[in-house]
A and B are shown apart, each in its own frame.
Chain A
Amino acid sequence: MKRWIERQKNIIEFTLSSLIRRKGKNGALIFVYTVVVFMSASVIFFAYSLKKEASIILRDAPEMIVQRMIAGRHELMPISYKEKILNIRGVNDVRERLWGYYYDPVVGANYTLIVPRERALETGKIAIGRGISRARLANEEDTMEFKTYDGSIVDLQVESILSSDSELVSSDLILISEADFRRVFGVPENYATDLMVSVRNQKELPTVALKVAGLMPDTRQILREEILRTYDAVFSWRGGMMLIILSGAILAFIIFAWDKASGLSLDEKREIGILKAIGWETSDVILLKFWEGMAISLSSFLLGTLFAYMHVYFTSSALFEPFLKGWAVLYPQFKTTPYIDASQIAALFFLTVFPYTIATIIPSWRAATIDPECVMR
C-alpha cells in the first residue's frame, strides 16, 4: 500500500511538472474548459435560484385568482362578485385583494403596493422592501411621499423594512393599509383589484374555475398550477432559454473533448515512447495521463463553478441580466439568494470531468501500446 501511494505521488509529481512545462497549451485548455463550466454552472445556479424564488412566492399564492376583464384588459373587480362565487358548491372562501404598481419618478422604479391580509397596518404607515429602502435611503420612522391619482401628495411613514427569504418577493414591495391604498389610487370602496378563491377539494379546482367562467363571462381565472407550469417551462432544464444556453455550452464541450480525443501531438507521442523505453509500463503512462486529465478538468471545474457562483450571487448574473431577467418587473434591485442543488452540481461534474478525463486517456492508451523500440530510431 505504501509503495502504491509513493508511486501515485511520484507520478503526480511528474504530471504537475509536465503541465507546467506546457503552460501555454494547458493554460489555454483550462481557460476554455473553465469558460464552458462557468457558462453551464451559471445557467444551473441562476435557473435553480429563480425556480426556488418562484416557489417561495407561490407557496402562499392563492389557489385561484379571479380577475375582471374589459376589452381584454384587467379591470377593477366589483366586490359584489364575491357573493356569486361563494354560492358555487365546493368554494371555501373568497377574499378581495388590493394591489397595484406605483411609479416613483425619484428613482425611476416601479413599486408593488399590496394591502396585506395577515398584517393590519395603521393608516399612514407602510412597510417597505429592502430594494426600496436602498434606493430611497429610507429607514424606519422616515416618511415617503406618494402622489395620489388626483395629484395631491400623501405622506406615509415607514413602520418597518421587510425581511424575507426571497429578495424577489420583498425587493420592490410596499405593504400599505387599505385606506391609504384607496386614497393613493382612487379605488372606490366597493371595488378590489381581484378576488382570491380557495376550494375545499383541490381536485374540484378546474370545475370551480369553469363554473366561475360560466357565471361571470367578463372574468378570467388564474390557477396556481398554471403559474407553476409556466415557471417550470421557462426555467427548468428542458425549457426555453436554459436549454439553449446549456446546449450551447455542452456542444462547445463536446467539440473541445473531441479535439482532445482525436490525437496527441508529435511531442506527446515521442515523450510516451521515451517513458516506455526507459521502463514505464503502459499502465504507468495511462496513470500519468489520467492525473493530467484530472488536474486540468478538476481545476477547471472548481474554477468554473466558483466563478459561476460569484457571477450569479455576487454580481446578480451580470451576463444574463439583459436577456433573462427582463421578463419580470424587478425594480429597483434584484439579487438572487444563493441556493445550491448538490445533485445538479454532481450532474455537471459527471458531464464535464469524466468525459474529458476519458477523452484524454484513450489516445494516450493507443500511443502507449506501441513498441518502445520506435524511440531508438
Chain B
Amino acid sequence: MIELIDISKIFNMGKTNEYVALKGINLAVHLNKVTVFRGPSGSGKTTLLSIIGCMARPTSGRIKFLEREITSLPERFLTEIRQKTFGFIFQQLNLIKGITALENVMLPSYPSGERYSSLKKRTMGLFDMFNITDRAEVKVEWLSGGESQRVAIARAMINNPLVIIADEPTAHLDSKLSKEFMGIIDVLKSEGKTVLIASHDPLVYESGVVDRIVDLRDGRVDGAKVS
C-alpha cells in the first residue's frame, strides 16, 4: 500500500508568485489496482503523481511505501526507489528524438550496469509483448502516434516496476488509440502491476479496467469512488 499522510505542496514559497498545489491530502493507494486521479486542470493531479513517484518532495506530510517512510530519504535513495519501483508514462511521451525506439526503451537501465546484450534481449521481449518488434531499430520521430505510445509504455516497464504512473496518457491520442492504451493497461493489471493514472478523459475513467477513481479539486481530495 502507498499511504499519503497530510501531504501539502507549495511552489515558490514566500515569494509573490507562491502557489499551493496540494492541501493536506490523506489517501491510501492499494497495490495491484488501477487508480485514476480525476479533476480539472490545476487540481493537483500531476503534482500528486510526481510526489508519489518520488520525483518531487512534498512541502509537508509523509509518504509510506510498503510501510516504509520514504519522504525523508536522501536524494540518492529516492532516485533508487524511483528507478526500481516506478515506471513513468508522460503526457508528452518524452521520448528522445534522434535515437532508435530500442535505445529509448533501454535508456532507463543504462546506469544499472546490466550487460548490454542481456538488456537488449529483455527490451526485445517488451517489443514482442507490445507488437512493435519490427519498429525497434526505427528512430522514434518516424513512429506513428500509437507506436510512440507503446514505446513509451515499454520504457516505463523496462526496470520491471511495481507501479506504473501515467500522466494524462490519452491527452494527445484519438479514441481508437486511447482504447488501445486502456487495453494495454488491462494487460499490465493482469500481470499484477499497480497503475496510477491522472486523467480527465472519460475514455480512461469510464473504462472497465479502472478499480478506483479519486476526484481532486483545488489541491484537495474531493471524493473517492470504487468502481
* Contact surface of A with B, Cβ cutoff 8 Å: 2-7, 9-11, 13-14, 17-18, 21-22, 271, 274-275, 277-282, 284, 371-373, 375-377
For the complex, what is the distance from the CA of A84 to the CA of B216, rounded to whole Å?
Answer: 112
Label chain B's interface by main secondary structure. Answer: helix
Q: Is the CB of A376 within 8 A of B116?
A: no
Does B138 count as interface, using CB distance less than 8 angstroms? no
Q: Is the CB of B111 within 8 A of A281?
A: yes
Most buried by B among A3, A279, A280, A282: A279
Most buried by A among B75, B109, B112, B167: B112
For the complex, what is the distance from the CA of A371 to the CA of B11, rounded to whole Å?
Answer: 12
Residues of B within 8 A of A376 (CB): 46, 49-50, 55, 90-91, 167
Instruction: List 15 additional contacts besides A274-B94, A279-B79, A372-B82; criterion CB under 8 Å.
Output: A6-B114, A6-B115, A9-B116, A10-B109, A13-B110, A14-B99, A14-B110, A22-B98, A275-B107, A280-B79, A281-B79, A284-B110, A373-B50, A376-B46, A376-B50
Q: Which residue of A lies closest to B81 (CB)?
A: A279
Residues of A within 8 A of B91 (CB): 376
Q: Is the CB of A375 within 8 A of B94?
A: yes
Find A3's partner among B82, B83, B113, B116 (CB 8 Å cutoff).
Answer: B113
Rank and list the top 7 A-B pairs by shortest CB-CB distance, nearest first: A3-B113, A279-B83, A21-B98, A7-B113, A373-B56, A10-B110, A373-B50
Q: Is the CB of B82 within 8 A of A279?
A: yes
Find A14's partner among B94, B107, B159 (CB 8 Å cutoff).
Answer: B107
- Distance to closest chain B CB from A157 (angstroms): 72
* Total contacts A-B at CB 8 Å: 85
Residues of A within 8 A of B99 (CB): 14, 17-18, 21
Q: Which residue of A lies closest to B93 (CB)?
A: A274
How many interface residues does chain B have, given as a range? 35 or more
Interface members, chain B 86-103 (any A CB < 8 Å): 88, 90-92, 94, 96-99, 103
For the complex, what is the distance from the CA of A233 to the CA of B179, rounded to whole Å?
Answer: 80
16 A–B contact pairs at CB < 8 A? A7-B112, A10-B109, A14-B99, A21-B97, A21-B98, A274-B94, A277-B88, A277-B90, A278-B107, A278-B108, A279-B82, A279-B83, A279-B108, A280-B79, A371-B55, A372-B55
Q: Is the CB of A13 within 8 A of B116?
A: yes
Does B155 count as interface, using CB distance less than 8 angstroms? yes
Q: Is the CB of A6 within 8 A of B75?
A: no
Q: Which residue of B lies closest to A8 (CB)?
A: B113
Residues of B within 8 A of A377 (CB): 46
For the complex, what is the distance from the CA of A179 to the CA of B125, rounded to whole Å?
Answer: 94
Q: Is the CB of B55 within 8 A of A277?
A: yes
Residues of A within 8 A of B90 (CB): 277, 375-376
Residues of A within 8 A of B56 (CB): 371-373
Q: Which residue of A lies closest to B115 (CB)?
A: A6
Q: Which residue of B lies closest to A7 (CB)?
A: B113
Most buried by A among B49, B56, B99, B110: B110
For the complex, what is the distance from the CA of A3 to the CA of B112, rounded to whole Å?
Answer: 8
- Distance to closest chain B CB from A278 (angstroms): 4
For the complex, what is the distance from the CA of A2 to the CA of B115, rounded to whole Å?
Answer: 9
- Distance to closest chain A CB from B22 (angstroms): 13
For the complex, what is the distance from the CA of A152 to the CA of B198, rounded to whole Å?
Answer: 106
Does B121 count as interface, using CB distance less than 8 angstroms? no
A7-B111, A271-B96 given; A279·B55 CB < 8 A: no
Residues of B within 8 A of A277 (CB): 55, 88, 90, 94
A14-B103, A275-B107, A278-B108 given; A6·B116 CB < 8 A: yes
Q: Is the CB of B113 within 8 A of A373?
A: no
For the complex, what is the distance from the CA of A275 to the CA of B55, rounded to whole Å?
Answer: 12
Residues of A within 8 A of B167 (CB): 376
Q: Which residue of A lies closest to B85 (CB)?
A: A279
- Distance to closest chain A CB from B13 (angstroms): 14
Q: Which residue of A lies closest to B84 (CB)?
A: A279
Interface members, chain B 42-83 (any A CB < 8 Å): 46-47, 49-50, 55-56, 75-76, 79, 82-83
Q: Which residue of B lies closest to A14 (CB)?
A: B110
Q: Is the CB of B110 within 8 A of A7?
A: yes
For the complex, what is the distance from the CA of A321 to the CA of B207, rounded to whole Å?
Answer: 79
Residues of A within 8 A of B109 (CB): 10
Most buried by B among A3, A13, A14, A22: A14
Q: Which residue of A lies closest to B55 (CB)?
A: A373
Find A281's partner among B47, B55, B76, B116 (CB 8 Å cutoff).
Answer: B76
- Distance to closest chain A CB from B219 (angstroms): 16
- Distance to closest chain B CB from A12 (angstroms): 10
Residues of A within 8 A of B47 (CB): 373
The digit string for B26-45, where 1 denotes a CB below 8 A from any CB of A, is: 00000000000000000000
Q: Is the CB of B159 within 8 A of A279?
A: yes
Q: Which residue of A lies closest to B95 (CB)?
A: A274
Residues of B within 8 A of A373 (CB): 47, 50, 55-56
Q: Which residue of B lies closest to A285 (CB)?
A: B111
